[in-house]
Chain A
Amino acid sequence: MSAPLAVDVLLGLILVGLAAQVAIGEHLFRAIVFYVAFGLSMSVIWARLGAPDLALADAAIGAGLTGALMMVAFRRLVEIDPKQAQAQGTRSSALAVLIGVLAAGMVATIGLTALTLEQQPGRAGLQVMETLGDTGLGNPITGVLLVFRGFDTLIEMTVLLTAFVGSRVMTTRSRFYVATIAGFQLPLVRTLVAVILPLAALIAMHLLWIGSDQPGGAFQAGSVLAGAGVLLLLTGTLLPASKSRALVRLALVAGVASLCVLVLAPMLRGQVAMAYLGRGSLLFAEALMMVSIATSLTLLFAGRPSLKVGRP
Chain B
Amino acid sequence: MTVSVLPWTIVFLLLNLGAGLWRAWKGPTDGDRLLTTLLFATTSVAILLLMSAWLELPAIRYVALMLVLLATIISLAFFGMPARASKSGDQADD
Chain A residues with CB under 8 Å of chain B are: 3-4, 6-7, 10-11, 13-14, 17-18, 21, 29-30, 33-34, 36-37, 40-41, 43-44, 46-48, 50, 52, 55-56, 59-60, 63-65, 67-68, 71-72, 75, 78-82, 173-175, 180-183, 189, 192, 196, 199-200, 203, 207, 214-216, 224, 227-228, 230-231, 234-235
Mark out the residues of chain B between 36 and 88 whose CB falls within 8 Å of any chain A CB in the assembled complex: 36-37, 40-41, 44, 47-48, 51-52, 55, 57, 59-60, 62-63, 65-67, 69-74, 76-82, 85-87
Closest residue of A by beta carbon distance from B60: A47
| Top 8 closest pairs, chain A to chain B, by CB | A3-B7, A180-B80, A52-B59, A215-B59, A234-B76, A64-B70, A71-B77, A10-B14
Residues in chain B near residue A230, CB distance under 8 A: 73
Question: In the complex, are the beta carbons of A56 and B14 less than 8 A apart?
Answer: no
Q: Tell me whether A181 and B80 are in contact in the complex, defined as CB-CB below 8 angstroms, given that A4-B7, A56-B63, A80-B90 are known contacts.
A: yes
CB distance from A44 to the nearest CB of B (A): 5
A227 touches B47 (CB 8 A): no
Q: State how many angstroms separate the Cβ of A112 from the closest Cβ of chain B.
A: 24
Which residue on chain B has the smallest CB distance to residue A13? B18
Interface of A is mostly: helix
Name which residue of chain B comes closest to A55, CB basis.
Answer: B63
Is B80 touching A72 in the complex (CB atoms < 8 A)?
A: yes
Beta-carbon contact of A10 and B18 below 8 Å: yes
A228 to B25, CA, bound (A): 30
Contacting residue for B73 out of A11, A17, A207, A234, CB 8 A: A234
B67 smallest CB distance to A (angstroms) = 5
A68 touches B73 (CB 8 A): yes
A78 touches B18 (CB 8 A): no
| B72 nearest CB neighbor, chain A only | A192
Supply 12 A–B pairs (Cβ within 8 Å), ascending by A: A29-B30, A36-B74, A47-B51, A56-B66, A60-B66, A65-B73, A67-B73, A68-B73, A68-B74, A81-B89, A181-B80, A196-B72
Contact A7 B81 (CB under 8 A): no
B27 CB, nearest partner CB in chain A, Å: 8
Q: Which residues of B contact A4 (CB under 8 A)?
A: 7
Identify A224's interface contact among B40, B47, B66, CB under 8 A. B66
CA distance A79 to B82 in the complex (A): 8
Which chain A residue has the least Cβ–Cβ distance from B82? A78
Which one of B15, B34, B72, B86 has the highest number of Cβ atoms from chain A below 10 Å of its Cβ?
B72
Bound-state CA distance A75–B36 (Å) is: 20
Residue of A34, A47, A175, A180 with most chain B CB atoms under a 10 A cut-off: A47
